[in-house]
Amino acid sequence: MKPKSLISVGLSVIVLLLAACAQQAAPPQPAAKIVTQVVEKEVTTVVEVQKEVTTVVEVVATPDRSTDPRFGGTFKPAARALVQFDQALSSDGPSFEAMSLIHGYLYRMQDFGDPIPDIAESWEWKNDTTLVFHLRHGVMFQDGNEVFPEGQGREVTADDVVYSMERWATLPGSKITSDVKDVYDSIEAVDKYTVQFNLKKPSGGLFDQVNGLSNLAIIPHEAVEHYGDDFGKHPVGSGPFEFVEYVPDDHLLVKRNEDYWLQCFLDEIYLQIIPDDTVALVALEAGDVDFVSNVPGAEVDRIATDKRFNIYYRPSKTPRMIMFPSGVQDFQDKRFRQAIAVAIDSQANGPAVYGAVAEPGCGNLSKGLPGHVADLCEKYFPYDLEQAKALFAELGWTDSNSDGVLDKDGKPMEPIKVNTFNIAGLDKVLEIVVTQLKAVGVPAEPELVEFGTWSDMYISGAEDSQTNERRLMLWAGCGGPGGLQLCWAKDASFGKVLGYNDSKVFDLVAQANETVDTDKRDGILQQAEEKLFGDYWVINATGPVGALMASRKYVKDYGSRYHFDNVCTLNNNVWLDKQK
């Protein structure tokens, strides 16, 4: 064989070895460095290649926690209001982010990128409706708790995936996402480390950032049986950090899981609960917290250029929207809802509150996302006070006595509450919206509540519990890929609580969930988006709003926090540079 051919074989083997290392290594703790040498002589034992290849393993010591400066320390991020830590019963972002520190998942997601292997090392589609996951060996449930005493944790197996999935699918009150519920048929443990999902029909969204199986936390049945309904207050998982304590409205403390399959650098994470973004930023600048997930709009430009901080941009852009309850008589006329919509200057409100991270656009899907409708603002949401007044006049509502409040048949319009929660600048959006509605004679009243109260009303509320309330729901959410399916599927909490029941939208969402072709799926979601917003059951208070996140400069190897709080993964491992 010529030397040129020998070099080619050598390079091929090097590539194969490097690929194998990339798949199997657990950064940042390499136990050995592989050096591949090609020996130029004819092979004496033929395997698959035709030249002898010698692999020299140079042993490198595993990083020592006592001497490696990356190990140790307590990371102190600010967190918004938390609810509980049972994945099956939770659908709010802050709680999910916190849970992702404690629980293990088949895979994790980061910034709408490719799935990051977690409990599952790999997966493949056997056909359009059969998805197989191969589990990592040696993943352990956390010990040192009432369920598993210290040193008595047990391995996560395929049976645990089956249990967690079946519980998610059948638990009363479960927040299983519609895209999974619509397609899920059954699950089976093929062997100890192999699990197979059987679907009723193909699915295009099982690996979405905020939908699909990314919401499936793998939990031990022993913990659920032990704690019962209080499991969400005493979570036991297989994630990188173990639950220590939760003090409502104050903090959540988790400590490093010593048995985690990756060697994480941090000792502890102390999530300081600060619902107000302005207060959180003050704490960051004072050094009281290490990270904030949402810099207030008025401070974005200043913080983005402040050399004391690392800057991260959240990939999701989420509009602030208003949804009408269906049972209120006034709201049942489309012209009334349209009048409210065109009285709100949504495209100016975003920049006024959120500054540079606000963008133009209407609907809940920002530019570049599947289902985005580019001309939604132009077609349905022009800011037009005269049109708003004219629509109200068609319904008999005028300000006949010039007192600034619309009236009909000699009776003033009943007050309309606008309800929201106290995070993410929503208090300021609420103030602006109420002012704009009053400008056309609508007696709007602001109603600002704690996030937990709001969640009880609209996320955990009973079916139709808000249907007949003369109250508009203002919130931030449903942005990002899968956002439309998450919030407006037939079984989604908002619609059920508010009595929204549009079979056309539900059918389109279900159809999108089972459409694998991305172009076709995009078209179906556009139809659903236009139907939902074109009927004015949901309207914009702002356009899409991104988020600037910031950490102290000594925080290293952190990514953006969105849905998952990825602190220790195959892609990154947060540490604190104590010398800075």
- State how far the alpha carbon of 35 is from the alpha carbons of 4, 18, 53, 59, 110, in Å: 20, 10, 11, 11, 32
Query: Has residue 419 got a pLDDT over 60?
Result: yes
Q: How confident is the model at residue 139 (pLDDT cuts 50, 70, 90)?
A: very high
pLDDT for the residue 412: 97
Residue 175, both tokens:
């927040």
Beta-carbon neighbour count of residue 74 at 10 Å? 13
Higher pLDDT, 35 or 297: 297
Higher pLDDT, 202 or 55: 202
Contacts 24+ apart (CB under 8 A), 144-152: 144/242, 145/223, 145/234, 145/236, 145/242, 145/243, 146/226, 146/227, 146/234, 147/220, 147/222, 147/223, 147/226, 147/227, 147/236, 148/220, 148/222, 148/236
Ranking 7-21, 134-148, 497-511 by mean pLDDT, the lowest is 7-21
pLDDT for the residue 27: 37
Contact criterion met (CB below 8 Å) for 390 and 384: no
Ranking 32-36, 86-90, 244-248, 406-410 by mean pLDDT, the lowest is 32-36
Beta-carbon neighbour count of residue 520 at 10 Å? 13
pLDDT for the residue 517: 83
Q: How confident is the model at residue 135 (pLDDT cuts 50, 70, 90)?
A: very high
Higher pLDDT, 37 or 277: 277
The percent of residues above 70 in pLDDT, for the chain, comes to 87
Residue 464 sits at φ, ψ, to 5 deg, of: 65, 10
Mean pLDDT, to the nearest integer, of 348-368? 90
Cα–Cα distance measured from residue 157 to residue 488, given in angstroms and rounded to the nearest whole number:
34
Beta-carbon neighbour count of residue 146 at 10 Å? 11
Query: Has residue 465 got a pLDDT over 60?
Result: yes
Q: Where are the alpha helices (DSSP H) in 136-191?
A: 158-170, 178-183
Higher pLDDT, 507 or 12: 507
Query: Has residue 230 got a pLDDT over 70?
Result: yes
pLDDT for the residue 209: 63
pLDDT for the residue 41: 34
Query: Has residue 32 got a pLDDT over 70?
Result: no
Residue 112, both tokens:
């709408």
Higher pLDDT, 333 or 69: 333
Mean pLDDT, to the nearest integer, of 184-207? 93
Burial class (CB in 10 A: 0-12, 13-18, 19+), 462: exposed
**Buried/exposed code over 302-334 (b: 16+ C-beta within 10 A; e: otherwise):** ebeeeeebeebebbbbbbbbbbbbbebebbeee
Query: Has residue 62 got a pLDDT over 70?
Result: no
Q: Residue 129 carries which DSSP code? A: T
Cα–Cα distance measured from residue 426 to residue 402, given in angstroms and rounded to the nearest whole number:
31
pLDDT for the residue 424: 66
Query: Has residue 267 got a pLDDT over 90?
Result: yes
Domain ranges of the chain: 3-59, 74-315+548-576, 320-540
349: closest CA among 321, 373, 389, 387?
321
Residue 111, both tokens:
């910034």
Mean pLDDT, to the nearest integer, of 197-221? 87
How far is it between the farthest Cα atoms of the chain? Answer: 104
What value does the mean pLDDT of the chain take? Answer: 86
Cα–Cα distance measured from residue 292 to residue 183, given in angstroms and rounded to the nearest whole number:
37
Ranking 116-120, 169-173, 215-219, 297-301 by mean pLDDT, the lowest is 297-301
Q: How confident is the model at residue 367 (pLDDT cuts 50, 70, 90)?
A: confident
Residue 149, both tokens:
């005493």
The percent of residues above 90 in pLDDT, for the chain, comes to 63
- State how far the alpha carbon of 116 is from the alpha carbons of 105, 109, 119, 212, 570, in Å: 10, 6, 10, 14, 7
DSSP string for 414-470 = PPEEEEEESSTTHHHHHHHHHHHHHTTT--EEEEEE-HHHHHHHHTSPPTTTTTT-S
Contact criterion met (CB below 8 Å) for 229 and 172: no
Burial class (CB in 10 A: 0-12, 13-18, 19+), 9: middle
> Is-cis flag, bond preceding 544, omega within 30?
no
Query: Has residue 31 got a pLDDT over 70?
Result: no
Contact criterion met (CB below 8 Å) for 269 and 73: no
Radius of gyration of the chain (CA): 27
Positive or negative, the CA dihedral 39, 42, 45, 51 is: positive
pLDDT for the residue 314: 77
* Residue 135: its H or E element: strand 130-135
Q: How confident is the model at residue 413 (pLDDT cuts 50, 70, 90)?
A: very high
Q: Which CATH superfamily is domain 74-315+548-576 in?
A: Periplasmic binding protein-like II (3.40.190.10)
529: closest CA among 546, 547, 512?
512
CATH number assigned to the domain covering 320-540: 3.10.105.10
71: closest CA among 256, 290, 289?
256
Contacts 24+ apart (CB under 8 A), 47-54: 49/9, 49/12, 49/13, 50/1, 50/9, 51/1, 51/6, 51/9, 51/10, 53/9, 53/10, 53/13
pLDDT for the residue 163: 98
Mean pLDDT, to the nearest integer, of 457-471? 91
Query: Has residue 393 got a pLDDT over 70?
Result: yes
- Highest mean pLDDT of the ranges 106-120, 193-207, 394-408: 394-408
Contact criterion met (CB below 8 Å) for 226 and 153: no
